[in-house]
Amino acid sequence: MRIVTLTEESRQNLLDNLLKRSPQNYGEYEGRVAAIVENVRTRGDEAVFAYTKQFDGAEVTAENIRVTEEEIAQAYREVDGQLLAVIRKALVNIRAYHEKQKRYSWFDSRPDGTMLGQKISALARVGVYVPGGKAAYPSSVLMNIVPAKVAGVGEIIMTTPCNAEGKVNPTTLVAAKEAGADAVYKVGGAQAIAALAFGTASIPKVDKIVGPGNIYVALAKKAVYGFVNIDSIAGPSEILVLADESANPRYVAADLLSQAEHDEMASAILITTSRALAEKVSQEVEQFVAKLSRKEIIQKSLDNFGYILVADDLEAAIAAANEIASEHLEIMTENPFEVMTKIRNAGAIFIGPYSSEPLGDYFAGPNHVLPTNGTARFFSPLSVDDFIKKSSIVYYSREALEEIHEDIETFAKAEQLTAHANSIHVRFEEE
């Protein structure tokens, strides 16, 4: 990996380079995606079936687009029992963590009879997109469905691509059943997003779409935002390790590569105060890459967006980490909790040598659907909050309103909104 001294210039060059990964940069795909979305909106199933044939080579029809109970039963027969046990163990942790995020309605009453409050309602129907092109991600099924179930969403509609034979990855199906999806449809890409957003004869229209996917999925979610809500426009995976001389170079190297293997556009960055550690990590990376199954993807990712930055001190390293705002941040320093208190921008923060990023991908409980491309400055991990809505509750007694009715009328008249003023005045006009 390239080793660079952290300076104002090298940090800015890195930030500029990382921005090239943002789905917002893919203007040339926008037109293609817009056409797919519009076709599905106007032609419904007919367009969904045509695109599925064109991009996935599958003969999908109204009769077979929805996964049947028999297909799910067959999936259980194909999935290794040990993996099923692991999925069930992971679900226990993921559910337990997300239960802590539950929100409750509250109401506040005052002696004058006023009552104000906030009413929590779960979304009625949510669409969950699960990627299925290059690889299958049953863990993403769990991460997208569990917070929706904990929130109390009425109906969860999942879509995921099928192969040319019309078969969905069995582990994806088993994970969907275990997590509690109500229906699974065999469609992927932009056409799946459009079908969920507008509804077709076969696929129900949803209120919100969540879940990661490739550039077509990401841009389609952006295109339908407003007709439905979306969780985010997820970009390629990324990891940033903050380490000093106390860190184990093999652990650091292995963790960097765990995210580099996701995608040629993934980013793996080490920021360290120790040049000796930088050299050792680079050597360990080289040795690991030679042995790893996805070495081609990893090498492209490292060539494009892999960095080892050597900082003068920990403060400079932390400042750079806050600017990069990585999806995943690992802290492997002498006092990791002290460093954590200074981190403002990161999707998920892994503390210490045994909190390796894949622990979060699969098992610890926190959600692995995280903000990417620097959006951790303003976005948060997928959570129960993404699946609820809030309504404000207002109750005033006559006495309470009488007390302040002139103030409201004064305010309304100041905005020349006399009907607003009248709507208050009318209740006290006999005065």
Ligand X SMILES: NC(=O)c1ccc[n+]([C@@H]2O[C@H](COP(=O)([O-])OP(=O)(O)OC[C@H]3O[C@@H](n4cnc5c(N)ncnc54)[C@H](O)[C@@H]3O)[C@@H](O)[C@H]2O)c1
* Site residues for Zn ion per CB under 5 A: 361
The token duo for 299 is 């090498």
Q: Is the Cα torsion angle 393, 399, 405, 408 positive or negative in sign?
A: negative
Residue 188 site contact among ligand HSO, ligand X, Zn ion, none (CB < 5 to 8 Å, cut-off depends on kind):
ligand X
Query: Which one among 72, 123, 196, 234 touches ligand X, defined by CB under 6 A?
Result: 234
Residue 133 site contact among ligand X, Zn ion, ligand HSO, none (CB < 5 to 8 Å, cut-off depends on kind):
ligand X
Closest to 325 (Cα-Cα) out of 347, 340, 342 = 347
Establish whether 361 is an annotated binding residue: yes
Strands 125-129 and 328-332: unpaired
Query: Which one among 175, 324, 329, 369 touches ligand X, defined by CB under 6 A?
Result: 369
Q: Are 88 and 79 in contact (CB under 8 A)?
A: no
Q: Is there binding between residue 177 and ligand HSO (CB under 6 A)?
A: no
Enumerate residues 228-247 that contact ligand HSO by CB under 6 A. Answer: 237
In whole angstroms, the minimum distance from the beta carbon of 385 to ligand X comes to: 17
Q: Is there binding between residue 134 and ligand X (CB under 6 A)?
A: yes
Query: Measured from the CB atom, is 255 or 327 closer to ligand HSO?
Result: 327
Q: Is there binding between residue 161 and ligand X (CB under 6 A)?
A: yes
Please report, for residues 145, 181, 301, 303, 412, the alpha-carbon distance to residue 185 in angstroms, rounded to integers and kept in the order given.
15, 11, 32, 37, 51
Active site residue 327: yes
Q: Which residue is nearest to ligand X (CB)?
A: 188
* Strands laid side by side in the 388-395 sheet: 106-109, 115-122, 388-395
Establish whether 415 is an annotated binding residue: yes
Query: Which one among 207, 255, 361, 409 touches ligand HSO, defined by CB under 6 A?
Result: 361
Stretch touching ligand HSO by CB under 6 A, among 132-140, 145-153, 201-209, 224-232: 132-140
Measure the N-to-C terminal CA separation of the chain; round to a whole number of Å.
81
String of DSSP letters for 84-134: HHHHHHHHHHHHHHHHTT----EEEE-TTS-EEEEEEEE-SEEEEE---SS
Return the biggest CA–CA distance within the chain: 88
Q: Is there binding between residue 139 and ligand HSO (CB under 6 A)?
A: yes
Q: How many CA atoms lie within 13 A of 220 on its CB side?
A: 30
CA–CA dist 91, 86 (Å, integer): 8
Exactly one of 71, 327, 330, 357 is catalytic; which is it? 327
In whole angstroms, the minimum distance from the beta carbon of 239 to Zn ion comes to: 8
Establish whether 368 is an annotated binding residue: no
Strands 267-272 and 238-243: parallel
Q: Is there binding between residue 137 and ligand HSO (CB under 6 A)?
A: yes
Establish whether 425 is an annotated binding residue: no
Establish whether 259 is an annotated binding residue: yes
Active site residues: 327-328
Q: Which residues bind ligand X (CB under 6 A)?
A: 55-56, 131-135, 137, 140, 161, 188-190, 212-214, 216-217, 234, 236-237, 262-263, 368-369
Residue list for the binding site for substrate: 237, 259, 262, 328, 361, 415, 420
Q: Which residues bind ligand HSO (CB under 6 A)?
A: 137, 139-140, 237, 259, 262, 327, 361, 368
